[in-house]
Amino acid sequence: MTDPARFRIVENDPAALAEAEGIVAIFVDEEGTLDPLARRVNKLARGAVERLAASEGWSKASEGDVVRLGFPAGMAADAVLVARLSRKPEARAARKAGVAIAREAGGKAATLALGARKGAEEVLMGALLRGYDYTEQKSKSDDTSRGEVTAMVTKPDALEAATADFAAQAAGVFFARDLVNAPANVLTTVTYAERLQALSEHGLEVEVVDEDRLAELGMGAFLAVGQGSETPTRMVVMKWMGGGDEAPLALVGKGVVFDTGGISLKPGSGMEDMTMDMGGSAVVAGVMKTLAMRKARANVVGLVGLVENMPDGRAYRPGDVVTSMKGDTIEVINTDAEGRLVLADVLWYAQETFSPSGVIDLATLTGAAIIGLGHHNAAALSNDDGFCDDVLAAAKAEGEGLWRLPLGREYADQLKSRIADVKNTGGRAAGTITAAEFLHRFVKDDTKWCHLDIAGVASTSFDSPYAPKGASGWGVRALDRLVRDRFEG
Ligand code: BES
Ligand code: MN
Ligand code: ZN
């Protein structure tokens, strides 16, 4: 398990800067004005900061950029990081500075000499989120412990209050990233369910549902996907009832621990990326962990369908007709369109069991979401404008890219089957929308629902704004904020 760095908030103490180990970050605005802490560091470093601030390079740096001054004379630190940040920075720029500082610090202890600067909490959050490294599979991981992050500020109490939930939020994001980064021989449906069960230590009520029970419930679509795998299909239900007696919000996640495509086998090249096909479920698990750790005053249930999609003598085939828990029959055209079969049954179960006030599902559902939006925005599709607007606003506030696509009868018509109630693919056109229309069938008319296709954002081959390459944890903060703003407020 990768733990976020510990952080500590202290009052301004210019004298301590000489002795601080690791790195010391100071903040200088576009005009090169030095605040008292920066002045102190400048003095210790014999005027290096002043020279930097007067240089041509500094005038070309953008807001949030960081310049490194290595092995400053007169200081114990390995480096001074000079962050370019205005006196009242935008949240996005402040986080960018924190991210750049953490990247440069590389896990060493860091002192953020923020003083009276606005947006200190954003700098701190950026630094915490970027301070992540997946080392579980390295045989010789050097010291993986992260140095402490110290925020030195004029008003410690105010920053303490603004950051009260940060440890819980970072822990939820890191939990999701660890799950997504884990290979499929390590994170099987069974070990995954165990990791979720362990969340009960934070006060979540966790129930693991096995295949016999899923069969009793009639989840023929979900179970079909796992038929060809040696690792058994599981549904895990996580409950956090921190609110009153109101109906809960339901979060539903696709948890395909590995997606070979099944009998409709995927091409070999790049197939290794399909270890991340449980990304939707990981976001659900991450949010549930955050809600429990910060003792959210809201009712939220998280449901994930854990399954592996393999080709085998027992595997389901193209042409098979399966029956969902709802009762609708589904003609399987392509066994690689498995995520929607998982979600159809878990969505239905969530509504039947909890009568939720709203449902959000998350899934690495379609390659078409990557074609349409690339790796910087997930796709949102919804049957309720107000609900969807709240989700979009929460994502925007957290800097997590999200863009809405339409639904529509014409798209649903692409899924008409000759022999069953519906088929599981709708052709090449509008793949993300037809997938959502498939799910729409399993959403009751009066249920507010928002589907998030995170295929492009769950894991990236480049550094994302807040994460090193690999799993991003996209969505954990947006959904935590949604719960705070819509359900706790
Ligand atoms: N897990 C994939 C979608 C995916 C692709 C996620 C690339 C992340 C990166 C999903 O199960 C899938 O295979 N979808 C098919 C659907 C098609 C057969 C209708 C796709 O998008 O090609
Ligand atoms: Mn697939
Ligand atoms: Zn898949």
How many angstroms separate the alpha carbon of residue 259 from the centre of ligand 2? Answer: 6
d(CA 294, CA 352): 28
Checking if the pLDDT of 339 tops 70, the result is: yes
Q: Which of 366, 375, 425, 459 to mutate to test the pocket of ligand 1 (most atoms within 8 A of CB)?
A: 366
Q: Which two tokens stand for residue 248?
A: 């809960």
Q: Which pLDDT band holds residue 146 (cuts at 50, 70, 90)?
A: confident
Q: How far is CA 351 from CA 191, 325, 347, 418, 473, in A?
A: 27, 11, 6, 28, 26
Q: Is 64 within 8 Å of 100 (Cβ atoms)? A: yes
Q: What is the mean pLDDT of residues 180-203?
A: 98
Per-residue pLDDT at 42: 97
How many angstroms separate the alpha carbon of residue 125 from the centre of ligand 2? Answer: 34
Q: What digits encode the pLDDT tens for the residues 348-364?
A: 999 999 999 999 999 99
Per-residue pLDDT at 85: 96
Q: Which two tokens stand for residue 70?
A: 């290595």
Q: Which two tokens stand for residue 478?
A: 């947006």
Per-residue pLDDT at 143: 63
Phi (first) and psi of residue 60, to 5 degrees: -95, -15
Q: Which residue has the higher pLDDT, 447 or 141?
A: 447
Per-residue pLDDT at 245: 96
d(CA 457, CA 479): 15
Taking the CA of residue 259 as reference, the ligand 1 atom at the shortest distance is 1
Torsion sign (Cα): 94, 100, 105, 107: positive
Q: Strand pairing partners for 450?
A: 360, 382
Taking the CA of residue 277 as reference, the ligand 1 atom at the shortest distance is 1
Q: How far is CA 26 from CA 84, 120, 151, in A?
A: 9, 12, 11
Q: Which two tokens stand for residue 1?
A: 């398990």
Return the residue matching tokens 């107000």: 386
Ligand minimally distant from the alpha carbon of residue 371: 1
Q: What digits encode the pLDDT tens for the residues 18-42?
A: 999 999 999 999 889 999 999 999 9
Torsion sign (Cα): 13, 15, 17, 19: negative
Q: Does ligand 1 lie within 6 Å of residue 333's CB atom?
A: no
**304 CB-contact burial (10 Å; exposed 0-12 / middle 13-18 / buried 19+):** buried
Q: Does ligand 1 lie within 6 Å of residue 372's CB atom?
A: no
Q: How far is CA 53 from CA 23, 48, 152, 194, in A?
A: 19, 9, 22, 53
Per-residue pLDDT at 391: 98
Checking if the pLDDT of 484 tops 80, the result is: yes
Element holding 322 (H helix, E strand): strand 321-323
How many angstroms separate the alpha carbon of residue 271 from the centre of ligand 3? Answer: 11
Q: Which of 254, 336, 433 to mutate to test the pocket of ligand 1 (most atoms within 8 A of CB)?
A: 336
Q: Is 133 within 8 Å of 2 (Cβ atoms)? A: yes
Checking if the pLDDT of 222 tops 70, the result is: yes
d(CA 339, CA 277): 9
Per-residue pLDDT at 96: 95
Q: How far is CA 338 from CA 77, 231, 259, 310, 459, in A?
A: 53, 16, 8, 11, 19
Q: Is 119 within 8 Å of 94 (Cβ atoms)? A: yes
Encoded amino acid at 408, one letter: G
Cβ of 230: how many Cβ atoms within 10 Å? Answer: 11
Q: Is 152 within 8 Å of 11 (Cβ atoms)? A: yes
Per-residue pLDDT at 144: 65
Checking if the pLDDT of 142 tops 80, the result is: no
Q: What is the mean pLDDT of residues 430-455?
A: 98
Q: Does ligand 1 lie within 6 Å of residue 364's CB atom?
A: yes
Which pTM does this prediction carry?
A: 0.97
Q: Which of 271, 277, 334, 437 to mutate to test the pocket of ligand 1 (most atoms within 8 A of CB)?
A: 277
How many angstroms separate the alpha carbon of residue 366 from the centre of ligand 1? Answer: 4
Q: Which residues are catalytically annotated?
A: 266, 340
Q: What is the mean pLDDT of residues 302-310?
A: 99
d(CA 477, CA 169): 7
Contacts of 487 (CB under 8 A, 6+ apart): 243, 249, 298, 299, 300
Per-residue b or e along 107-128, where b marks 16 or more CB atoms closer than 10 Å to that residue's CB? bbbbbbbbbebebbbbbbbbbb
Q: What digits encode the pLDDT tens for the residues 207-217?
A: 999 999 999 99
